[in-house]
Every structure is written in C-alpha cells, then in structure tokens.
Structure 1
Amino acid sequence: MSRCRGAQGAPFLLVGGQVEQGRRSEQKATRFDVKGLKEDGSFEGYASLFGQEDLGRDVVMPGAFRSSLAKRGPRGIKMLYQHDPNEVIGVWMKLSEDIRGLRVEGKLLPDVGRSREVLSLMRAGAVDGLSIGYHVVKATKDGKTGLRKLIEVDLWEISVVTFPMQPEARISAVKSERPTERQFERWLMRDAGFSRTEARRIVAGGYKALPASRDARGGDGARLARAFREAARIFN
C-alpha cells in the first residue's frame, strides 16, 4: 500500500546526479483559471509544465509522462477531487505531452453530486488547481542546487485541488503565451524529428534556412508545416 504525500521534502532521493528509482506516491499541482471552464463542465489546460521549477524544487522533464500515457490512455488515469479515490468527479477526454507540458482536456460529470459542487467552486474561482498523483520511476537530484529533475513518472490520477504547486500555470494563459525559442527548438527535435542543427536553423531563419538537399530527401516541407500547425494550436 503506497502512502500519498506532497512533493515537498522527499528524503528518499539520491543526490549527486544519480538516478533514483522508487515507488513512493507523490502529488504536484498547477493553477488554472475559470476562463478555461465551459458551460457543460468541460475544461482544458496543463496539469504540469516542463522545465519550470515548482515550489517543491522539482522540475518535470519532457517525456516524463510518455510511458504512462501510452500504457493507460486518458480513461485509465482518473479525475479525482483533492486526491480522494472515493471522489471521482469526471473523466479525462484527452491527455498528451506537447512543447509546454502535460496538456489535459476533461469533463466534469453533471450526474455526480460532488462534481456539481466542484463546478460551482471552479466557476467562483474558489478552487483553481490541478494536481498530478504519480510514482517516481526515474529522477536525478543535483547535490549543489538541490533541484530534482523528474525524468519518468508513473501517472495514475489528476485531481482538481485547492492549493497549486506551480502558481504560474493557468488555463486562460495557455493559449496566449508564445513559446520561447528554446522550447520550440526542443519540440522540433523531440516531436518533429529534426536534428539539433536543423532545429536551430529553423528557429533562426525559418524553413528557408534548411539546405535544399535536406528537403529533397523526403517531405520535410510537409513535416515542418505540421510542426507549425501544432505550435499554432498550442499557443494561439
């Protein structure tokens, strides 16, 4: 039986950059804004942001959720209230990693009494947090800075909660913020399949910066167009 605890203070971690492998359950929250909440109780946003230090001095790395999402899918990851397994309040329709973090699309269930209460609290702004419940699979901790990088986590639930761990993450800001050059470069390499050199050329000078021979080898124009469409979906 695993014992839940907050992400702050994790005495079982190894230091000095060594890889940690463990099964203790942890939680980590982000804030959302009720502007991202629709009339039917559906909402979208980010449950976790990549590369940002949270209040517990943790940094979630790109790819940390990939294995869990492939294994369970959105319906295999529960939507709870305050991490209480007896308080299932909705379903996740879509969960995916993108350039910014763990993007979620969910819906509160109107036939569930607690869900109706949560919807009212969300509309009033009284509850404005999303929190992930997970086990750490792989992590490193810097002995000098104390920062922990979460490389892989076993995600099993996402809760609507009161208190956030990443205060700067809000649903209303998700579509208005533009990616940094570094974020877009990393996304081009990780998800669009470009090399580091090519990604840097694209960021600096657009598609025309790529050598003509590269495009002739097989449809990079179409692939880059898809990359820009995906970026537009995320940030506009």
Structure 2
Amino acid sequence: MTAAAGLRFQGHAALFDRVDRAGDVFRAGAFAGAGIVPLLWQHRGAPAGTLRAVAEDARGLWVEGVVTDPDAARLVRGGALPGLSVGFRTVRARQGAWRELLAVVLIEVSLVATPMQPGARIERVDDDFQQEK
C-alpha cells in the first residue's frame, strides 16, 4: 500500500435485536443521528484509519471505512481482524432479561479480533482502494 492507498471495508459494527456477550441488545433507532467517529484498533490507541459512512439500516449499524494503518490492514486482509465493535455511551435503556439499548451516543468503531456481537463483521474488503483527495 502506498501512503495514498488504504484498505476499504464495509460491514455492520452492531446488529439490532441480537443479545451480545455482555447481555446488551441494540434496538433500531439506538444510533439515530450518529455521525463519523474515529476508527480504532481493539478500542484503543491512535486511529487505524477513517470511517467514510455510518448509518443505520434494517440490520444494524452499517459502516464503510478505509484502514490506513499498514499492520491493521494486513490483519484485516488476512482475516485476523474480522470483527467490528462499537464504543458508546448509553443515553436511554430499558432493563429486562437483557439491557435494551434504545438510544446511545456513538464514540468510536473498532476493528477487533473478537466482536462483542458475534455477527458484527467486516463483510467486504477492497484492497488498494485509492482515497479521494
């Protein structure tokens, strides 16, 4: 990858109506108004790239981004970082059998080896995508 290149990806960083490993369930509308946030690697450190789009769809929180960190890009390309995860602050929740997250503030999206929601995954990778200037 050149300095101007990156590894473009798309996927779902969170899924609606699925219990995660912590007992949380995101409900549709929880991410309403979410915008571009930092793209991290394992929820810490310097950004591993940038997000270009963040939006709710029928399935969950869909994101598109470009991984510019060469080590992270290598791991994503090789399948060692297949998951996506979100860092958030709870605004409104309902407690029942699980904690239902009704409104959250999205803080960051991370490339992760093991996502909190098993189905939150990178779904498409386009190698050597040239970033727009």
Share of identical aligned residues, percent? 40
What is the 5 A alignment of 1:64-213? 64-67=30-33, 69=34, 73-74=35-36, 77-84=37-44, 86-109=45-68, 115-142=69-96, 145=97, 147-172=98-123
CA distance in 1 between counterparts of 2:113 and 2:47 reads 16
CA distance in 1 between counterparts of 2:64 and 2:123 reads 14
Supply the AA of the counterpart residue of 2:95: K
Task: Report the 3-state secondary structure (helix = DSSP H, G, I; strand = E; otherwise coil) of the residue aligned with 1:118.
Answer: helix
The TM-score normalised by the length of structure 2 is 0.83
CA distance in 1 between counterparts of 2:114 and 2:122 reads 15
* 1:69-94 Cα shifts (integer Å, max 9, x gaps): 2xxx22xx11111111x321111101
Supply the AA of the counterpart residue of 2:88: Y
1:98 to partner: Cα distance: 1.0
| CA shift in 2, pair 1:80/1:171, >3 Å | closer
| CA shift in 2, pair 1:171/1:108, >3 Å | closer
Contact 2:15 2:119 in 1 (8 A): no
Q: 2:8: which partner in 1?
A: 42
Q: How many residues align?
A: 120
Supply the AA of the counterpart residue of 1:167: P
Higher relative contact order (CA 8 A, sep 6+): 2
1:40 to partner: Cα distance: 4.2
Supply the AA of the counterpart residue of 1:133: G
Instruction: Pick the structure with more helix per residue.
Output: 1
Supply the AA of the counterpart residue of 2:78: A
Segments of 5+ residues of structure 1 without an aligned counterpart are 1-38, 110-114, 174-236
The TM-score normalised by the length of structure 1 is 0.48
Runs of 4+ in 1 over 3 A off after TM superposition: 169-173
| CA shift in 2, pair 1:78/1:40, >3 Å | closer
1:159 to partner: Cα distance: 0.9
1:169 to partner: Cα distance: 3.6
Q: Which has the larger radius of gyration?
A: 1
| CA shift in 2, pair 1:133/1:51, >3 Å | same
- Superposed CA RMSD: 1.7
Instruction: Pick the structure with more strand per residue.
Output: 2
